[in-house]
């Protein structure tokens, strides 16, 4: 079963009580700001802020870390590759048939660390950003922000049907297992699984058709409208000022001489 | 007044397979019709023609709803007249919250916000899901989803409601609840067209039965259609179990000219027969009984052996 990012939407915290429209924009700005940084100290400061936000949101750290594990596995190769490939001329270590392995100094290690930390910070901020309200509310907030209707619809449908697809795949998996299929590391396993996935695509395509028919039968003509009501309070503005202010501060600091930029190019 | 008029409707899938051939029928306002037919007979395809979702050159002008031919470019205006409940509720419940799904139709129809809210509350109440506005549809049970799908159509307040197998895949209690909802709609005077394989439910729900097998095979009152056993069996269909049972009773000498279609019918029939027989029913076995029972039973057997 796909675990839901909004599993801890039901608890109460200052982040949970924050108007989702303001929360989305503010934390998105913060993610952007951290992404634009090229100074390790500032990125670490950004990360600490992200950790503070996540802990204020009361989402259990174990939940956050277990999700971040995957991202970590994905970004760690950068940490291994970059110091031997990017920035300047390094010290040659070894050469295999035209490919030279060379160590390129502490600056490149710092650069690799920045990429890894930025990725982790961004992913961590996703949790206070969308993990603190039910997905439907988040989608309504996106509508409330007057984002273009089509991408919001795509997002909403992806979220709605990912569970249906997951159920369908689980059923298929069980039906394979109940007919003696065992997953092994061989070609037969691969072809079977890929056929099952192909079938899932065909089924999804057909379902998409039927959903579209159902929508049209209910008068759909291009835009999805819902009834939603958000009321901003003073506290929402205060929270926004703090987070967006911090995001701006990072950018201001980045332009000062104290925090010099390290770019890989 | 005619609610649905279908005249010489033809449709073939893109691969050339003929789905509907020379389909013609009329349904009057307030009528409640069961549409039966074997799997792949074109029932769902026919339903999707009733609001113009499916259309082709050959189908142009073939379908009229409430006196007006369907314009495939104005499908989004059809729900005021006809609402369709799809077979799989997961196709119908596509919004984040159930309340949004029920509000989806009326909002599209331009209904004012306060009225939309009232309709959402009212529609959910009518299907026994009062207070489910904030529920997420993928957490509902199968029976709840079916009822929710109906609520999404009720909220548009269409004159005609077409349903694709509303009682399929439900547990007995959910099935009974659903039949009650449909009976309620019938008594409100809605025009109903119900696709179903649930022959035992038909006598309660429909006054008329249309048998479709690519083309119209039979069209008549529920009793007339169920009387034509040969045609039904040839089309791979069935009659209500209670009818089959009373036909067996006839072989045991039970006096019965008109076979009951439902349990209520059967109770009335038995009461009348017992009263006419001075408080008794006489059943007996004579030399033709067994062959009579065998022939009654073999009538409904689909396998050839």
- CB–CB of A252/A31 below 8 Å? no
Residue of B nearest to A229 (CA): B113
pLDDT at B305: 45
Average pLDDT, rounded, for chain B: 91
pLDDT at A28: 94
Shortest CA gap B263–chain A (Å): 36
Which residue has better confidence, B36 or A261?
B36
**What tokens appear for B1 in the block?**
């007044």
Residue of A nearest to B105 (CA): A218
pLDDT at B13: 87
Contact B95 A160 (CB under 8 A): yes
pLDDT at A76: 87
Span A227-248, average pLDDT? 89
Alpha helices per DSSP H over chain B: 43-49, 89-92, 98-108, 113-126, 142-154, 172-187, 202-205, 222-227, 229-234, 241-251, 263-276, 289-299
Domain ranges of chain A: 5-147+227-255
Contact A135 B138 (CB under 8 A): no
- Which ipTM value was assigned to this complex? 0.79
Domain ranges of chain B: 2-234, 241-299
Which residue has better confidence, B38 or B297?
B38
Percent share of chain B, pLDDT over 70: 99
CA atoms of B195 and A233, how far apart (whole Å)? 52
> Residue A8 pLDDT > 90, yes or no?
no
| Residue B259 near chain A (CB below 8 Å) | no
Going from the C-alpha of A44 to that of each of A38, A49, A166, A250, B120, the distances in angstroms are 11, 9, 37, 11, 50
On chain B, the residues whose CB falls within 8 A of the CB of A171 are none
> Residue A82 pLDDT > 50, yes or no?
yes
> Residue A265 pLDDT > 50, yes or no?
no
Window from A121-135, A251-265, B85-99 with minimum mean pLDDT: A251-265
Span B152-167, average pLDDT? 94
Segment A244-258, tens digit of pLDDT: 999 999 999 888 877
> Residue B83 pLDDT > 60, yes or no?
yes
> Residue A11 pLDDT > 70, yes or no?
yes
pLDDT at B25: 96
pLDDT at B106: 92
Segment A162-196, tens digit of pLDDT: 877 888 888 888 888 878 788 888 888 888 888 88
Global model pTM greater than 0.95: no
pLDDT at B296: 83
Shortest CA gap B159–chain A (Å): 14
- Beta pairing partners, B11: B20
Span A36-42, average pLDDT? 91
> Residue B212 pLDDT > 80, yes or no?
yes
Shortest CA gap B136–chain A (Å): 9
Residue of A nearest to B108 (CA): A219
pLDDT at B197: 92
- Write the residue in B75, B76, B103 that is nearest to A227 by C-beta: B103
pLDDT at A106: 76
Span A76-102, average pLDDT? 72
Contact B105 A218 (CB under 8 A): yes
Mark B260-297 as b/e (b = at least 16 C-beta within 10 Å). bbbeebbeebbeebeeeeeeeeeeeeeeeeeebbeebe
What is the CATH architecture of B2-234? 3-Layer(aba) Sandwich (3.40)
Segment B173-188, tens digit of pLDDT: 999 999 999 999 999 9
The model's confidence at residue A235, banded by pLDDT at 50, 70 and 90, is very high
> Residue A2 pLDDT > 60, yes or no?
no
- CB–CB of A263/A38 below 8 Å? yes
Residue of B nearest to A223 (CA): B108
CA atoms of A136 and A144, how far apart (whole Å)? 12
> Residue A89 pLDDT > 70, yes or no?
no
The model's confidence at residue B303, banded by pLDDT at 50, 70 and 90, is low
The model's confidence at residue B156, banded by pLDDT at 50, 70 and 90, is very high
């Amino acid at each position: 079963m796909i675990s839901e990012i909004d599993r801890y939407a039901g608890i109460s915290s200052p982040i949970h009580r924050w108007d989702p429209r303001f929360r989305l924009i503010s934390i998105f700005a913060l993610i952007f700001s951290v992404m634009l940084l090229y100074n390790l100290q500032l990125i670490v400061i950004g990360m600490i802020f992200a950790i503070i936000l996540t802990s204020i949101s009361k989402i259990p750290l174990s939940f956050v870390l277990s999700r971040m594990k995957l991202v970590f596995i994905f970004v760690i190769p950068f940490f291994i590759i970059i110091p031997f490939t990017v920035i300047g001329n390094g010290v040659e270590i070894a050469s295999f048939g035209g490919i030279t392995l060379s160590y390129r100094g502490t600056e490149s290690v710092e650069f690799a660390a920045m990429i890894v930390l930025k990725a982790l910070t961004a992913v961590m901020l996703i949790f206070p950003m969308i993990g603190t309200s039910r997905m439907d509310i988040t989608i309504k907030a996106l509508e409330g922000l007057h984002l273009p209707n089509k991408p919001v619809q795509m997002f909403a449908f992806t979220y709605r049907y990912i569970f249906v697809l997951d159920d369908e795949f689980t059923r298929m998996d069980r039906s394979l297992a109940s007919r003696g299929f065992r997953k092994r590391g061989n070609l037969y396993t691969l072809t079977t699984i890929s056929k099952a996935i192909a079938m899932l695509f065909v089924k999804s395509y057909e379902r998409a058709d039927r959903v579209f028919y159902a929508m049209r039968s209910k008068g759909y003509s291009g835009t999805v409208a819902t009834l939603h009501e958000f009321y901003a309070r003073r506290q929402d503005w205060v929270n926004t000022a703090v987070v967006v202010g911090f995001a701006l501060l990072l950018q201001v600091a980045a332009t000062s001489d104290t925090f010099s930029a390290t770019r890989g190019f | 007044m005619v609610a649905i008029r279908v005249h010489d409707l033809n449709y073939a899938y893109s691969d050339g397979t003929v789905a509907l051939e020379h389909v013609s029928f009329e349904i009057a306002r307030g009528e409640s019709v069961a549409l039966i037919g074997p799997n792949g007979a074109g029932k769902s395809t026919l339903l999707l023609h009733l609001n113009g979702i499916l259309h082709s050159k050959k189908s142009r002008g073939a379908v009229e709803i409430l006196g007006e031919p369907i314009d495939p470019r104005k499908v989004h205006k059809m729900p005021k007249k006809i609402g369709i409940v799809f077979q799989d509720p997961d196709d119908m419940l596509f919004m984040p919250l159930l309340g949004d799904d029920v509000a989806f139709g009326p909002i599209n129809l331009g209904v004012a916000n306060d009225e939309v809210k009232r309709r959402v509350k009212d529609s959910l109440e009518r299907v026994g899901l009062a207070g489910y506005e904030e529920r997420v549809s993928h957490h509902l049970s199968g029976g709840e989803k079916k009822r929710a799908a109906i609520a999404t159509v009720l909220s548009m307040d269409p004159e005609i409601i077409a349903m694709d197998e509303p009682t399929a895949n439900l547990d007995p209690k959910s099935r009974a609840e659903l039949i009650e909802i449909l009976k309620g709609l019938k008594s409100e005077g809605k025009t109903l067209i119900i696709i179903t394989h649930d022959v035992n439910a038909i006598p309660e729900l429909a006054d008329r039965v249309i048998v479709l097998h690519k083309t119209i095979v039979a069209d008549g009152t529920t009793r007339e259609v169920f009387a034509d056993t040969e045609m039904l069996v040839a089309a791979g269909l069935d009659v209500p179990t209670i009818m089959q049972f009373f036909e067996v009773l006839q072989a045991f000498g039970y006096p019965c000219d008109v076979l009951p279609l439902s349990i209520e019918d059967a109770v009335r029939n038995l009461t009348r027969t017992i009263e006419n027989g001075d408080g008794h029913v006489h059943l007996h076995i004579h030399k033709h009984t067994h062959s009579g029972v065998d022939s009654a039973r073999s009538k409904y057997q689909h396998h050839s052996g």
